[in-house]
Structure 1
């Protein structure tokens, strides 16, 4: 319920903010949502705006939704090791040390998020700490550091913003053509008919499914890249061992956008996966030239 409440409140806040921004832009440019230019502005504001507001709030939302506790003063040897390891890897990757947090979950997982490379969050599950060796956990941390250093969160947001913009724009343009054709046939040329909004809704659902294929493809590629990054930082033997440990673990408990940022995705095999199958990731590392 907590996650659902946060999701609803966040999306309501995003819609309100973007509606105000859109109203200001329309007033400043003298356009409206019925023109092609106005539709493009609307699509861009909501397509990119929603993605970047979500990214800006990602650290806050991640902490609230998972209950992750940031380690400010290590209380034991494990917490000290986590902080020291992340700091060392961040230095190797030429980024500022991210915040380090632990969240309570039985599954073996970790994620990184944040709007900027030098203001990120790396969080690990209690299940990871309980079921992985230090070498395996070190490789997982290096994987998340590689995501941060590669700027994957921002790049994924940009891609999501682009596809969102096209989905919103095309759905309304095509919906407008269909609506105009229907109204002309009925001799009615005033305003938008109710069918227009139904058509746009259906088209957004259809285009949204197609757009998600693009986003998920990139998401899978960045997992391979982060695996290579981890192997470069700590050695591929450790990363392969970590992936094999993940193979034996339960499905991840992360939900929503955090699922894409976790080190392990759901066990399924289709084009809508955010992560490649673990066996493919292991094979790719084994065939790489990284030592």
Structure 2
């Protein structure tokens, strides 16, 4: 899990560094606030929106998921019909249904919008879950699509990236001015760009904490949605099965946040988890307020 968190942070940092280089070449800094906001928004939202638009393609490529176009077995037929029924109940278009090779019990949903999504399950899930438990997992993933979680996460990441880019340059300009004094020509030196890069890393960490907090909240909502589509006891049973068979996820970093299996961590590491601990999710469903998260 930690290596995937590190990859996520490094990817976002690379985007921010690239933005800084291009903006520097274009002469955009904190002194021209209008240009800074425009360029920050372009870079902040650009990567997130491109990732969203390519999410299905990248997920299939990364996991090797095979879309079921014509069901060849009873299991495949059941999968497609269950997702079809749940999608109709949730008021969304029929997602593509796929199976990917993975030993762990897991599933994920992704896609650019509610009517153009992908729901994929692992072979480990099909081999180790009962049909009722698998139905609840599918309901959880369909709920992610119906809630628009993929779009919301992309927009949130775009806002956070923009905030990091702008704040790093504004604060960096203040610090650079304090350390070196006011320059008559108004130009920034190498120290300014070094300060900005450090600030982008620091602010990027806080931005990631916010994104992961939202990700954990959406898991509670998807659990409640899965309970409505498949039944609360089935959803509880599915999460309990996950807790008994929980292991290291083999999902690639770019789609792990959309899987159903939760992460594990202690101390500060918990702030970077995309999923709440499974016991908390089970307790939420068992409580009287489980449907209102």
Please give the range of the TM-score, normalised by the shorter of the 2 chains.
0.7 to 0.9
Q: What is residue 287 of structure 1 aligned with on the other side? A: 287
CA contact (8 A) 1:251 1:265 kept: no
Q: Report the equivalent of 2:181.
A: 184
The alpha carbon displacement at 1:107 in A equals: 0.6
Q: Which moved more, 1:267-276 or 1:40-49?
A: 267-276
- The match for 2:259 is 262
- Mapped pair 1:215 → 2:207: no
Q: CA deviation at 1:191?
A: 3.0
Instruction: Give the counterpart of 1:90 among 87, 98, 105.
Output: 87
Report the alpha carbon displacement of residue 272 of structure 1 after superposing the two structures with TM. 1.5
Is the Cα–Cα contact under 8 Å of residues 263 and 276 in structure 2 kept in the other structure?
no
Asked if the contact 2:109/2:118 (under 8 Å) is kept, the reply is yes
SS of match in other structure, 1:261: coil
- Cα offset for 1:265? 2.4
Aligned counterpart, 2:102 = 105
The Cα shift of 1:75 comes to 1.3
227, 232, 248: which one aligns with 1:236? 232
* 2: CA distance, partners of 1:229 / 1:288: 15
2:133 counterpart residue number: 136
Root-mean-square deviation (Å): 2.4
CA distance in 1, matches of 2:290, 2:82: 21
Shift of 1:182: 3.5
Task: For 1:135 and 1:263, locate their aligned partners in 2 and report how far apart those are by CA, in whole Å.
Answer: 16
Residue 34 of structure 2 is matched in structure 1 by 37
**Distance (Å, rounded) in 1 between the aligned partners of 2:243 and 2:75:** 24
> Given the alignment of the two structures, is residue 56 of structure 1 paired with residue 53 of structure 2, yes or no?
yes
- CA gap of 1:189–1:182, structure 2 versus 1, over 3 A, is farther
In the alignment, is residue 275 of structure 1 matched against residue 275 of structure 2? yes
Give the structure 2 partner of residue 81 of structure 1: 78
Matches of 1:225 and 1:266, distance apart in 2: 17
**Among 149, 157, 160, which residue is 2:157 paired with?**
160
Name which structure has the greater RCO, CA cutoff 8 Å, separation 6+. Answer: 2
1:121 aligns with 2:118: yes
Deviation at residue 195 of structure 1 after TM alignment:
1.4
How far is the alpha carbon of 1:290 from its aligned partner? Answer: 6.6
1:116-164 per-position Cα deviation (integer Å, ceiling 9, x unaligned): 0000000001110111010000000000000000101111111111111
Cα distance in 1 between the residues matched to 2:151 and 2:106? 21
Task: Give the structure-2-normalised TM-score.
Answer: 0.86
For residues 231-255 of structure 1, the C-alpha deviation after alignment (integer angstroms, 9 at most, x for no partner) is 0111110000000110122221113
2 CA distance for matches of 1:165 and 1:159? 10
Is the contact made by 2:129 and 2:241 (CA closer than 8 Å) also made in structure 1? yes
Identify the residue that residue 248 of structure 1 maps to in structure 2. 244
- Residue 91 of structure 1 and its aligned partner are, at CA, apart by 0.5
Q: CA deviation at 1:180?
A: 3.1
